[in-house]
Amino acid sequence: MLSSAGVSSATPTEEMNGAGNLMDFLDEPFPDVGTYEDFHTIDWLREKSRDTDRHRKVRPRVCVQFTVNTFSSHHACLSSVCQITSKSKESVWELIKSLLDAWSGWVVMLLIGLLSGTLAGVIDLAVDWMTDLKEGVCLSAFWYSHEQCCWTSNETTFDDRDKCPQWQKWAELMTGHAEGAGAYVLNYFLYVLWALLFSFLAVSLVRVFAPYACGSGIPEIKTILSGFIIRGYLGKWTLLIKTVTLVLAVSSGLSLGKEGPLVHVACCCGNLFCSLFSKYSKNEGKRREVLSAAAAAGVSVAFGAPIGGVLFSLEEVSYYFPLKTLWRSFFAALVAAFTLRSINPFGNSRLVLFYVEYHTPWYMAELVPFILLGVFGGLWGTLFIRANIAWCRRRKTTQLGKYPVLEVIAVTGITAVLAFPNPYTRRSTSELISELFNDCGALESSQLCDYINNPNMSRPVDDIPDRPAGPGVYNALWQLALALVFKIVITIFTFGMKIPSGLFIPSMAVGAIAGRIVGIAVEQMAYHHHDWIIFKNWCRPGADCVTPGLYAMVGAAACLGGVTRMTVSLVVIMFELTGGLEYIVPLMAAAVTSKWVADAFGKEGIYESHIQLNGYPYLDVRDEFTHRTLATDVMRPRRNDPPLAVLTQDSTTVEDVETLIKDTDYNGFPVVVSRESERLIGFVQRRDLTLAIKNARQKQDGVVSSSVVYFTEDAPQLPASNPQPLKLRRILNLSPFTVTDHTPMETVVDIFRKLGLRQCLVTRSASPGHHHQEGCPATHGSNDEPGPRVHHVQLAEKSFPPPTL
Amino acid sequence: MLSSAGVSSATPTEEMNGAGNLMDFLDEPFPDVGTYEDFHTIDWLREKSRDTDRHRKVRPRVCVQFTVNTFSSHHACLSSVCQITSKSKESVWELIKSLLDAWSGWVVMLLIGLLSGTLAGVIDLAVDWMTDLKEGVCLSAFWYSHEQCCWTSNETTFDDRDKCPQWQKWAELMTGHAEGAGAYVLNYFLYVLWALLFSFLAVSLVRVFAPYACGSGIPEIKTILSGFIIRGYLGKWTLLIKTVTLVLAVSSGLSLGKEGPLVHVACCCGNLFCSLFSKYSKNEGKRREVLSAAAAAGVSVAFGAPIGGVLFSLEEVSYYFPLKTLWRSFFAALVAAFTLRSINPFGNSRLVLFYVEYHTPWYMAELVPFILLGVFGGLWGTLFIRANIAWCRRRKTTQLGKYPVLEVIAVTGITAVLAFPNPYTRRSTSELISELFNDCGALESSQLCDYINNPNMSRPVDDIPDRPAGPGVYNALWQLALALVFKIVITIFTFGMKIPSGLFIPSMAVGAIAGRIVGIAVEQMAYHHHDWIIFKNWCRPGADCVTPGLYAMVGAAACLGGVTRMTVSLVVIMFELTGGLEYIVPLMAAAVTSKWVADAFGKEGIYESHIQLNGYPYLDVRDEFTHRTLATDVMRPRRNDPPLAVLTQDSTTVEDVETLIKDTDYNGFPVVVSRESERLIGFVQRRDLTLAIKNARQKQDGVVSSSVVYFTEDAPQLPASNPQPLKLRRILNLSPFTVTDHTPMETVVDIFRKLGLRQCLVTRSASPGHHHQEGCPATHGSNDEPGPRVHHVQLAEKSFPPPTL
């Protein structure tokens, strides 16, 4: 029996005696046994069974009933299992504890939602203010943003909401002149200066306090969720610094968004609250469930799209996403969105970032430009990923990577200098997207809506017919085209710098600009050539048939899809974002096209590419492997390798073990009966072994280098002269995962993926003493003694060196 | 080597010799080997590896590269696998074939979308017409529904769109009198008569042609998707009959919806198109991927909610839902929705069933009634499930089940007689829901909108302030309350009858009625007591603060959630359905509350309950098992059972095998070296064994009862006098799934669930000859000879008797 303490709180019936045999890591014979080292991968199965053990302790229960369900053929292994019913009447305290335990998951979700919603609100407000600070200041209260300043002013007219005496540009404030070349130059200069200041602060804070706070964080979160451990990546410092530097980075006007980093921030919140509950802090598997939900909350507040957030977490980020996590993510996303709405940073009581209302349906023929936008999105995705990865690789491998501060300053300088003259790049990217999405109403004063009105049309109505474009529109088209080129180029160099930088908003901006240009082109074509066959059916003169804003929306979806390869979550986010529910079909068409086009050039999205670039271990759920091989072909050791590193159950000394640990870097070792028979007993983790020996040497008298390590149930009684034996059965995993050497590799990969294994042992039938694999047994005739003795070969497993960050 | 033909189309390099060892079911040495019997469960792993084999054949490739990725610690088993690159330049034909193969998935999706969209459109139109046929007929064209009839009429005024001379009620047509008691009675009588006729036709068609066409089909589809085989359930006849009878059943006015059955119809389409491609028709696993996507298309057209459909398939129906299926489902749902929109059965160019536009935001304080509606929904769900299951059980076990036609007739009669007098139950349920969701505009003429207008208010605007209710509203409240009770009771008896019957619409109706009543109550309370503290902050006099339609929507979501336990997909469906994007938070709050309340009374939704009632084998992904046991405690044979049924590799005769097959009903048998050593060689499926022996006896000379069956690679050369040996290694699975007897049961269940195993062998260390398990080895001391010899115990597995349908 492994540990009798493990079941002490239960009252086992007679049939239940077997349960005492479970490995119980919660006993923690030595501290840290069952934990993982940094930059190592967790074993999902072990985490899961540890959680079940914990459950048993928290909720003492009795097995009362054995049912045999003879109908169930597939799931027969379930029949006659012990149905456990609650009998926690021992004490009220036990009951409360068990309730608390059951509800702690929801409590964590609530906390995550509240904190991430609050942080997102604060970030939104701060970004608003600081972005406007680059241009001017509010005289009535310097902490007001431009909009708030004029909103509170009484002198604002409805037509010109943006102009009010309280808001003064820097030049006006400093020299008294609002117009003129001098004022322009001064404003320009101060704009660039503020931008440089913000970005310098951001990159310095990241360098000094939390190097993990840079980037979007999504590639790393994907890796962490797949079971990898990067300590500190989701720590308190990262949370704090990322929040502050995110505001600075976005405000500096760089071509980056706050959406990806907000996911990172939300995951940091999740990790923070995990530490409040031992259920989550002590179990890496459970912790990842919380983190998945936190990622959903992050997207939820980033876009005001709770359902899109849940789907993003499911489709893009998470590795293990059971339905329970789906519900909890949903709850966390809801709370987060609700908190954000209460803070109301956009001042419009809406959750969504870019609210639009279109008044006309779309027509079949428009699918052609929508699909073309999809193609553009796919091409942009491919171009961006290739160029960005090439640049990032250059950063990693050349001198460039040594001067991150300089790089950020340089890029900020170039961005600010180039951005200021063009009104579409000067403003914040989300404002730009918002304007591009907008349909031109009658009251719209923007340059993009400078159409030549029909003099016969008197009253302003929603349903404005298509009109010829005025000079303002043509002017805007030129500026937009320049902005498009600028955004495309600068985003490639921006993403991946050592500051928090998201990719969603810049990608969407590229798509929205392209889409709006296409939209206006189609609109004007339809207006001027409404006798063409394609327009004849749906576009009579005087009708409002083309909505350029819709094209911008479709373009944004296409470009975002091309870069990230999201489909379902993308469309949901887009229509949550815009309220454009009727436009699912165009959005879907563009998203699917963009995915197909981009996939034709390379299967990996930007996040997978960055994972690969950084060398994180990540087994993509989406990849389809077509192996021709069997387990026997890939298992280690290979033909000319040294024999497999194993421990024997009762003949290895402490010194042997220590030598083995020192000489190899495997994460664990199979334990066999003896080197001759190599029959498998179990598997022991390297870390557990190290800790156990260290602990024994310190605390257990008589354990010396020549002590024999016993993995058997009982160590033999040795004469007193011999050194004390070291019994380590409690750290031995008695149910290591094994497959036969005839198992096809797809199956092995599938098992690894679905069960989240850390290693898998291969057993084979071989003659005794046949230590290492010699190719395929069928061709080498080593299979002549039929009947599998359990021979076992560990698959290649190395510890993972920390990546350079 | 198992089969050399298996790799003949490939050009293996030297390292690849091992690949020939794969079991290759596609060789099909005997017809039907590798298929499954009816009412049996498939082996997902086997299906998967069969598909990979097929891939290899279709796309001949060469292994060119071995990479060892030493960084990857977790996924080490991937390192150094054979990276396969394309080299299909053998011929253009090969290339085309390979392209076709790669695109066949998308083609199937396209076809499913087109057909299911078309069918849904036809069903919608037919239901519209036949529902109205119960009341009257269109004189200008009898195939017009009421709405179409008056739409095409020129004499219709805008105010009274429903009244036009072309549309005549039966009494008017037959007697010339439109009004009066006589006409009322005649209309009443004919209404009931039509209803009885429709339902009689429906139930007769189902009984005679396709018994599987009854019910909603979702429980069975869930079971099928989890890997069970029910032949004919998704067949052509079922498709045809279900489509026709669905129209009849819905038109008869019974309290049922078309949504669930549409999922079944779409899955039938999916199955139909699977048969066009051998890739899908020959692989049960791949077929299920298509069916998952078809289910999404079904919901997509049922509600006009493509994304909701995908999520429904993911959350509620599917068992194995890889990301690839997510994308394909998305595409199928898109095409289906688009097809439906092109048919345009609702005549409004919108995809959605109940389009609403609300003009006021909701307020914090309203969360209280929303959450109360959630509680109501949870209680309704619990009540409905318990009552319905009890009634269905009674139907199965008593005389009641013998007279399905009579039952349907009786329920239809009662429904029609009770429904006609109440205007809210007389109309079709979806019309009712639509009216309840609607906000009262200025032009609304419905009884529910009979508010007392403020005489000062002159122009009709969108933003009508709250007004006191008029007599019409109070009248409507009474009728709605009666309708609520009626719907609650009658739905319990209707769901589960032998006609196609969906549950979504009746559930939503119950919730919408309750919600509207609550909404009106809150509205009037706010109007009359706007000085109360709770109303003071958000509801000044003259403001439009409460939208009763929103309450109806929230109530509908809560009730649907209580019955089905959907959350995310439910909310998405609801807001796709209604366009009510701003109301995610109320919907989510209600859905989560309703789930919590309902879960408190029982974890199972209506579909799981019906699965259990019918005794289908279904391992719910959502259940959390907390086993105290190890594999050793549940494995068979138990202590006093006869020893394990095994085959030996070279000493069993054909007769022995036949006796074993006859005497036991296991789905397969482990093959061991000898009865003494019981070392595991592999596993052979019962069906394959039966077929192989049958085939050999027919075709292979010299195979008689005393022939020895060899599972070894080479049968020994026997003297000619001995009967010919039967070599069966090719049907032997050399990589059966094994776990050690120390594996915790959670892990075993997890493996079963995630890998979709059909059986799992338990190996244990025991002294030789120790055939059956004797409790826990640790307590019985049978583990005294350490070191596992592979002992193996098959878990209980029985074949599954066909359920009574």
Q: How confident is the model over A656-684, as pLDDT tens digits?
A: 888 888 888 777 888 888 777 777 778 88
Single-letter residue type at A198 = F
Tens digits of per-residue pLDDT, A17-56? Answer: 333 333 333 344 556 666 777 777 777 777 777 776 766 6
Q: Which among A75, A711, A765 is the top mutation candidate for probing chain B, defined by the most B β-carbons within 10 Å of its own β-carbon?
A: A75
**Residue range B211-218: average pLDDT?**
87
Lowest mean pLDDT among A74-78, A676-680, B709-713: A74-78
A425: Cβ contacts below 8 Å, ≥ 6 apart: A418, A419, A432, A483, A486, A487
Tens digits of per-residue pLDDT, A322-331? Answer: 778 888 898 8
Same topology, domains A112-343 and A631-794? Answer is no
A679: Cβ contacts below 8 Å, ≥ 6 apart: A672, A673, A789, A790, B787, B788, B789
Calculate how close chain B gets to A589, using CA atoms only, in Å. 8
pLDDT of residue A583: 80
Query: C-alpha angle B76/B79/B85, rounded to 5°?
Result: 150
**Residue range A726-754: average pLDDT?**
78
**Residue range B434-440: average pLDDT?**
84
pLDDT of residue B1: 28
Q: Do B592 and A331 touch (CB under 8 A)?
A: yes
Q: What are the φ and ψ backbone dihedral angles of A398, each rounded to 5 degrees?
A: -110, -175
pLDDT of residue B536: 74
Tens digits of per-residue pLDDT, B567-579? Answer: 888 888 887 776 6
Omega cis (within 30) before A455: no
- Top CATH class of B364-614 equals mainly alpha
Strands A680-685 and A668-672: antiparallel
Question: Cβ distance B46 to B282 under 8 Å?
Answer: no
Question: Cβ distance A553 to A357 under 8 Å?
Answer: no
- Nearest chain A residue to B667 by CA distance is A73
Tens digits of per-residue pLDDT, B284-333? Answer: 888 999 999 999 999 998 888 888 898 889 888 887 777 788 888 988 99
Instruction: Give chain A positions within 8 Å (CB) of B45.
Output: 747, 750
Question: Cβ distance B540 to B487 under 8 Å?
Answer: no
The residue ranking higher by pLDDT, A344 or B557, is B557
Q: Do A634 and B800 touch (CB under 8 A)?
A: no
Q: Do B585 and A617 touch (CB under 8 A)?
A: no
Instruction: Give chain B positions within 8 Å (CB) of A673.
Output: 786-787
Q: Do B744 and A331 touch (CB under 8 A)?
A: no
pLDDT of residue A197: 94
Instruction: Give chain B positions within 8 Å (CB) of A639.
Output: none
Identity of the residue in B22, B351, B795 whose CB atom sits nearest the CB atom of A630:
B22
**Cα distance between residue A411 and residue A494, in whole Å:** 7
The residue ranking higher by pLDDT, A492 or A95, is A492
Lowest mean pLDDT among A420-424, A555-559, A652-656: A652-656
Whether residue B343 has pLDDT greater than 70: yes
Query: C-alpha angle B226/B394/B487, rounded to 5°?
Result: 85
pLDDT of residue A339: 87
Identity of the residue in B76, B681, B752 whose CB atom sits nearest the CB atom of A797:
B76
Most confidently modeled of A173-177, B235-239, B652-656?
B235-239
pLDDT of residue A612: 87
Lowest mean pLDDT among A300-309, B75-84, B514-523: B75-84
Please, what's the b/e burial string for A755-793 (b: 16 or more CB within 10 A of its CB; e: otherwise)? bbbbbbbbbbbbeeebbbbbbbbbeeebbeebbbbbbbb
pLDDT of residue A654: 85
Tens digits of per-residue pLDDT, A400-454? Answer: 888 889 999 999 999 999 999 998 988 888 889 988 988 776 666 677 777 777 6
Chains A, B: CB pairs < 8 Å: 413
**Cα distance between residue B664 and residue B684, in whole Å:** 14
Lowest mean pLDDT among A138-152, A163-177, A241-255, B86-100: B86-100
Q: Do B712 and A617 touch (CB under 8 A)?
A: no
**Residue range A625-642: average pLDDT?**
66
The residue ranking higher by pLDDT, A280 or B453, is A280
Lowest mean pLDDT among A517-521, A605-609, A670-674, B619-623: B619-623
pLDDT of residue A447: 78
The residue ranking higher by pLDDT, B142 or B582, is B142
Q: Do B77 and A760 touch (CB under 8 A)?
A: yes
Question: Cβ distance A332 to A112 under 8 Å?
Answer: yes
Q: Do A634 and B740 touch (CB under 8 A)?
A: no
Instruction: Give chain B positions within 8 Å (CB) of A340.
Output: none
Instruction: Give chain B positions within 8 Å (CB) of A775.
Output: 17-18
Q: What is the CATH number of domain B631-794?
A: 3.10.580.20
Tens digits of per-residue pLDDT, B18-29? Answer: 333 333 333 445
Calculate how close chain B gets to A80, using CA atoms only, in Å. 6
- Nearest chain A residue to B53 by CA distance is A628
Q: Do A63 and B681 touch (CB under 8 A)?
A: no
Instruction: Give chain A positions within 8 Å (CB) of B339.
Output: none
Closest CA to B738 of A66, A741, A621: A741
Using a CB cutoff of 8 Å and minimum separation of 24, what contacts does A278-281 make?
A279/A51, A279/A54, A279/A101, A279/A104, A279/A105, A280/A104, A280/A108
Calculate how close chain B gets to A507, using CA atoms only, in Å. 21
- Nearest chain A residue to B737 by CA distance is A739
How is residue B796 written in tokens? 């209980």
* Average pLDDT of the residues of chain B: 76
Identity of the residue in B77, B84, B572 whose CB atom sits nearest the CB atom of A626:
B84
Q: Do B592 and A747 touch (CB under 8 A)?
A: no
Using a CB cutoff of 8 Å and minimum separation of 24, what contacts does B206-210 make?
B206/B241, B206/B245, B206/B498, B206/B499, B206/B500, B207/B404, B207/B405, B207/B498, B209/B237, B209/B240, B209/B241, B210/B235, B210/B237, B210/B238, B210/B240, B210/B241, B210/B242
pLDDT of residue B47: 76
The residue written with tokens 């590798």 in the block is B34
The residue ranking higher by pLDDT, B208 or A69, is B208
- DSSP-derived 3-state class of residue A557: helix
**Residue range A637-656: average pLDDT?**
77
pLDDT of residue B407: 92
Whether residue B385 has pLDDT greater than 80: yes
- Nearest chain B residue to A309 by CA distance is B568
- DSSP-derived 3-state class of residue B127: helix
pLDDT of residue A12: 33
Most confidently modeled of A35-49, A697-711, B755-769?
A697-711
Whether residue A784 has pLDDT greater than 50: no
Report domain extents, chain A: 5-90, 112-343, 364-452+463-614, 631-794
Q: Do B315 and A323 touch (CB under 8 A)?
A: yes
Calculate how close chain A gets to B681, using CA atoms only, in Å. 6
- Top CATH class of A364-452+463-614 equals mainly alpha
Instruction: Give chain A positions within 8 Å (CB) of B110.
Output: none
pLDDT of residue A7: 26
The residue written with tokens 């102009």 in the block is A163
Task: Provide the residue count of chain B.
Answer: 805
Closest CA to B581 of A648, A355, A37, A261: A355
Instruction: Give chain B positions within 8 Å (CB) of A327.
Output: 567-568, 592, 595
Over pLDDT 90: what percentage of chain B?
Answer: 24
pLDDT band with cut points at 50, 70 and 90 for residue A598 = very high
Tens digits of per-residue pLDDT, B589-604? Answer: 899 899 989 988 888 8
Q: Which among A78, A109, A791 is the top mutation candidate for probing chain B, defined by the most B β-carbons within 10 Å of its own β-carbon?
A: A78
**Cα distance between residue B356 and residue B365, in whole Å:** 22
The residue written with tokens 């597939």 in the block is A74
Whether residue B281 has pLDDT greater than 90: no
Whether residue B391 has pLDDT greater than 80: yes
**Residue range A576-599: average pLDDT?**
81
**Residue range A204-210: average pLDDT?**
90
Whether residue B83 has pLDDT greater than 60: no
Single-letter residue type at A351 = L
Q: Say whether domain B112-343 belongs to CATH 3.90.1150.10.
A: no
pLDDT of residue A469: 78
Q: Which among B73, B320, B738 is the top mutation candidate for probing chain A, defined by the most A β-carbons within 10 Å of its own β-carbon?
A: B73
B189: Cβ contacts below 8 Å, ≥ 6 apart: none
**Cα distance between residue B730 and residue B27, in whole Å:** 10
**Cα distance between residue B319 and residue B617, in whole Å:** 13
Q: Do A755 and B750 touch (CB under 8 A)?
A: yes
**Residue range B177-205: average pLDDT?**
90
Identity of the residue in A17, A52, A649 whose CB atom sits nearest the CB atom of B626:
A52
pLDDT of residue A774: 26
